[in-house]
Amino acid sequence: MKITTFAAIYIGSYEVSLKIFEICPKRNMRSVDYIRSRLELGKDAYNKGFIGYELVEELCQILKEFHSIMEGYKVDAYKAYAGNVMRVASNALFILDQIRFRTKIEVSVISNSEQRFMGYKSLAASAQFEKMIQKGAVVVDVGGGSMQLTLFRKGTAITTQHIELGIMQIWEKLAKIRNMVSHYEMQIQELIDKELEIFKRIYLQEKDIQYVVVMGDYIGEMVKGFSKKEEDGTIETERFLKLLKKWHRKSPEEISVELNLSNEQDPLILPSVVLYKRLTEEMNAPYIWVPGVNITDGIVCDYAEANHMIRFEHDFEKDILSASRNLAERYHSYSKHTEAVLSMGLVIFDAMKKVHGMGKRERLLLQAAAILHDCGRYISLVNQSECSYQIVMASEIIGMTHLEREIVASIVKHNAMPMQPYKSVNDKMDQESYMIVSKLTAILKIANAMDRSHKQKFKNMKAVLRDRELMITVEAEESIVLEKGLFSAYADSFEEVFCVMPKIKEKRVFQ
> Do residues 438 and 399 lie in contact, with contact meaning Cβ atoms separated by under 8 Å?
no
Pick the stretch among 36-44, 49-57, 148-156, 336-344 that binds another protein (CB under 8 A).
Answer: 36-44
Q: Distance between CA 347 and CA 361 in Å, rounded?
A: 16
Compose the 301-340 pattern: x for residues touching another protein by CB under 8 A, - for all others. ----------------------------------------
Write 301-306 long-range contacts (CB < 8 A, 24+). 301/29, 301/118, 301/121, 301/122, 301/124, 301/125, 302/79, 302/117, 302/118, 302/121, 303/6, 303/8, 303/23, 303/77, 303/79, 304/6, 304/23, 304/29, 305/121
SS (H, E, C) 385-400: HHHHHHHHHHCCCCCC
Binding residue for another protein, selected from 44, 114, 141, 217, defined by CB under 8 A: 217
Whole-number minimum distance, CB 300 to another protein, in Å?
Answer: 14
Among residues 3, 93, 186, 509, which is the contact residue for another protein, using CB under 8 A?
Answer: 3
If the CB atoms of residues 255 and 387 are measured against another protein, the closer one turns out to be 255
Measured from the CB atom, the residue of 233 and 422 that comes closer to another protein is 233
Contact region for another protein (CB under 8 A) — 81-89, 121-129, 214-222, 446-454?
Answer: 214-222
Cα separations in angstroms, 238 against 109, 142, 282, 288, 483: 40, 21, 12, 9, 59
Residue ranges in 65-84 that form contacts with another protein under rule CB under 8 A: 68-69, 71-74
Q: Applying CB under 8 A, which of residues 100, 104, 224, 361 lies at the interface with another protein?
A: 224
- Least separation, in Å, of the C-beta of 266 and another protein? 10
Work out whether strand 287-289 and strand 458-466 pair parallel, antiparallel, or are unpaired.
unpaired
**Does 38 engage in binding with another protein (CB under 8 A)?**
yes
Residue 284 CB coordination number (10 Å): 13
Which lies closer to another protein via its Cβ, residue 91 or residue 256?
256
Nearer to another protein by C-beta: 68 or 179? 68
| 446: CB partners within 8 A, 6+ apart | 344, 345, 348, 487, 490, 491, 494, 502
CB neighbour class for 161 (10 Å; exposed up to 12, middle 13-18, buried from 19): middle
**Binding-site size, another protein (CB under 8 A):** 31
Query: Which one of 25, 30, 190, 193 is in contact with another protein (CB under 8 A)?
Result: 30
User: Binding residue for another protein (CB under 8 A) from 44, 114, 221, 483?
Assistant: 221
- Type of residue found at 61: Q
| Min separation Cβ 27 and another protein, Å | 8
For another protein, the closer of residues 30 and 508 by Cβ is: 30
Instruction: Spell out the residues 6+ positions from residue 246 whose beta carbon is closer than 8 angstroms to its own.
Output: none
Q: In angstroms, what is the minimal distance from the CB of 262 to another protein? A: 4
CB of 68 to another protein, least distance (A): 8
Q: How far is the CB of 72 from another protein (least distance, A)?
A: 3
Least distance (Å) between residue 296 CB and another protein: 13
User: Vertex 315, ends 397 and 164: CA angle to 5°?
Assistant: 30
Judged by CB, which is closer to another protein: 70, or 275?
70
Closest CB to another protein among residues 71, 313? 71
CA 82 to chain centre: 16
Q: Any long-range contacts for 485-494 (C-beta under 8 Å, 24+ apart)?
A: 486/449, 486/452, 487/446, 487/449, 487/450, 489/449, 490/442, 490/445, 490/446, 490/448, 490/449, 491/446, 493/418, 493/419, 493/442, 493/445, 494/442, 494/443, 494/445, 494/446, 494/470
60 binds another protein (CB under 8 A): no
Name residues contacting another protein, limited to 245-304 (CB under 8 A): 257, 259-264
- CB closer to another protein, 105 vs 463: 105
- 241 binds another protein per the rule CB under 8 A: no
> Nearest distance from residue 220's CB to another protein, in Å?
7
Binding site for another protein (CB under 8 A): 1, 3, 5, 15, 22, 24, 30, 32-38, 68-69, 71-74, 217, 220-221, 224, 257, 259-264
